[in-house]
Amino acid sequence: MEDRKHPHSIDLEQAALGAILLDRDAIHVVISVLNVSSFFIESHQVIFQACINLFEKAAPIDLLTVSEELKRMNKLDEVGGFFYLTELTNRVASSANLEYHARLISQFQLRRGLIQISEEGRRDAYSDENDIFNLIESYEQNLFNLTQGNLTKSWESSAEAAKKAVEALMAAREKPDGLVGVPSGFQDLDRLTGGWGKTDLIILAARPGMGKTSLAIKFLLNASIDFDKPVAMFSIEMSNLQLTNRSASILSGVQGTKIRKGETDDGEFERFVKAAEKIGIAPFLMDDTPSLSIFEIRSKARRMKIQHDIQLVVVDYLQLMRGVEKKGGNREQEISSVSRGLKQLAKELDVPVIALSQLNRSVETRGGTKRPQLSDLRESGSIEQDADMVAFLYRPEYYQIMEDYEGQSTKGKAEFIIAKNRHGALDTVELYFDHKTTNFQDMPDRILSPEIQDGLDMEVNEVFGVTPPSNNQDLVEAASKRNDDEDIPF
């Protein structure tokens, strides 16, 4: 009965340890598969820990060195002495099948883990003191960790981490554009960030009406359509139909008001249908469940990761989410639990998470240009603390500031202000905004590179009201014509 409750194989564990003691290269075979808890027998755990200690010191691993390390740990007699170590080496002829043996040991560990999770879940479910949704979240997270193999690699040596760092740098050097993360689709922004980094929590904050939802949708469209990256959006504010209409308006150049009212002409209708078809075949997942909790988002995102391997998650928006409610807690503490949960989600799924956030009203009462700053983040200072990047979306035109300090027109101008960047520089990227379609693009002198000319012809024509220019200078002139044309509302 005990063996059924705790699946394991003494013979396999002895064979694996014996191979490590005989073959100096054997540790390299098993270190990415097994950890100390992979072994069921306690004495085997101690012996494997001694091997790991030697490996991290770059010391040779053999019968004598492991014996000395166990003496240093005051554990040699506990594991059976030098005699038992010798017995381990006698139980294996070679290390030829070591990797296969290690994976069988790992599978036994997974079985034990599944039994433990099931027993704990059954026990906790009987207690009326436990919140059922918290239990489900915890149970599902533990199961996810098992399926991802996280329980089979609970530690990592500095040598392994250093090797990964070198490999990552080599991979980055092979990319001529420096794009190592998930692309935003905006040239200057990608040049600055290298793409959205895995495990990063990016906070995109702005006052209502700045267009942060549209910009987030554009990030998702660029990643899913142009780069074939599976993406997901959790929209607590908008329905899936509204998201699709907004996305199609951005892609087709058809005004959102015309789409809502059904006032499109034949050409606009055709462009809308083609845009909808693009969205339909893109790996773009939408969830419009109202009043989502951080637990529910993490649960759904895990399933999306397993089933569709999503590479980017957007949450719109942070202040509408429900966090962990505690007795006597306030809204700021709840928002803090949301931001921490989103950061944990990014690390858990190994994907970037972009969370939209509102700014408080102090921006409106401040004089000058009213550019946002970190202290304007609404309801919680922990948002800034948990985020790897905090960016603000700012449009001077929104505040009727029609010229910048150089006297240049601000019509259609938007600024992506990076106010915190854990991995790089702080800077501001200029974007172009068309309020008719709520579409964001690179600024005119950036968008007509040969690689993307064909895809932008239709969009540029709609935005500027002219035949697509043949070069960047022509586009600048077209933009100047647009700014002087009072018949085009911007």
Model's pTM, two decimal places? 0.62
Half-sphere exposure of 25 (CA within 13 A, CB side): 4
Three-state DSSP at 417 gives: strand
Task: Inform me whether the pLDDT recorded for 475 exceeds 60.
Answer: no
The boundaries of every CATH 3.40.50.300 domain in the chain are: 179-443
* From-to residues of CATH 1.10.860.10 in the chain: 2-158
Per-residue pLDDT band for 480 (boundaries 50, 70, 90) equals very low
The model's pLDDT over 110-162, given as tens digits with 9 standing for 90+, comes to: 888 888 888 888 888 887 777 777 777 777 777 766 665 544 444 556 777 77
Cβ partners under 8 Å of residue 420, min gap 6: 374, 384, 387, 389, 390, 426
Task: Return the pLDDT at 171.
Answer: 74
For residue 3, give the H/E element and its range: helix 2-5
Which pLDDT band, with edges at 50, 70 and 90, does 289 fall under? confident
Question: Tokens 């996280």 label which residue?
Answer: 150
Give Cβ neighbours of residue 474 (< 8 Å, ≥ 6 apart). none
Task: Report the distance separating Cα 226 and Cα 218, nearest Å.
Answer: 11
Query: CB under 8 Å to 154, separation ≥6 — which residues?
Result: 35, 37
**End-to-end Cα distance, the chain:** 75
Q: Percent of the chain having pLDDT more than 90?
A: 14
Alpha helices in 314-417 (DSSP H): 331-349, 362-365, 382-386
Q: Give the single-character DSSP code of 228.
A: -
**Burial of 47 (C-beta count, 10 Å sphere; 0-12/13-18/19+):** buried
Q: 205 forms bridges with which residues in the sheet?
A: 357, 392
> Annotated active-site positions, please?
237
Residues 51 and 20 sit within 8 Å (Cβ to Cβ): yes
77 against 325, higher pLDDT: 77
My answer on whether omega of the bond before 317 falls inside 30° of 0, hence cis, is yes
Q: Which CATH code for domain 2-158?
A: 1.10.860.10
Helical H segments across 350-452, by residue range: 362-365, 382-386
Predicted pLDDT of residue 254: 86
User: Is the CB of residue 200 less than 8 Å from the CB of residue 182?
Assistant: no
Q: What CATH number was assigned to the domain covering residues 179-443?
A: 3.40.50.300
- Based on its alpha-carbon atoms, the radius of gyration of the chain, rounded to whole angstroms, reads 28
Rounded to an integer, the average pLDDT of 164-188 is 78
Contact 463, 441 (CB under 8 A): yes
Does residue 421 register a pLDDT over 80?
A: yes
Whose CA is closest to 11, among 33, 44, 36? Answer: 44
What are the tokens at 98?
A: 């070591």
Top-confidence residue, 274 or 474: 274
The count of other CB atoms within 10 Å of the CB of residue 165 is: 10
- Which residue's structure tokens are 């139909």? 241
For position 396, what pLDDT does the model report? 87
Q: Is the pLDDT of residue 165 over 90?
A: no
pLDDT one-digit tens code per residue, 368-405: 778 888 887 765 567 777 889 999 999 888 888 887 77
Query: Which pLDDT score is estimated for 312?
Result: 94
Mean pLDDT of 79-94: 85
Q: What is the mean pLDDT of residues 76-81?
A: 89
Least confident interval from 210-214, 289-293, 324-328, 377-381: 324-328
Whether residue 337 has pLDDT greater than 80: no
Q: Region 180-193: what's the mean pLDDT?
A: 88
Condensed to tens digits (0 to 9), the pLDDT of residues 432-462 reads 988 888 899 988 764 444 343 344 444 434 4
- Helices and strands (H, E) in the chain, number of each type: 20, 9
Residue positions counted in the chain: 490
User: Residue 481 pLDDT more than 90?
Assistant: no
**Spatial contact of 335 and 382, defined as CB atoms under 8 Å apart:** yes
The per-residue pLDDT for 160 is 73
Average pLDDT over residues 23-35: 80
Summarised one tens digit per residue, pLDDT across range 4-15 is 568 888 888 888
CB contact set of 426 (below 8 Å; sequence gap of 6+): 418, 419, 420
> 436 pairs with which residues across the strands?
none
CA distance 73 to 247: 62
How high does pLDDT run on average in the chain?
79
Q: Is 279 in contact with 292 (CB distance < 8 Å)?
A: no
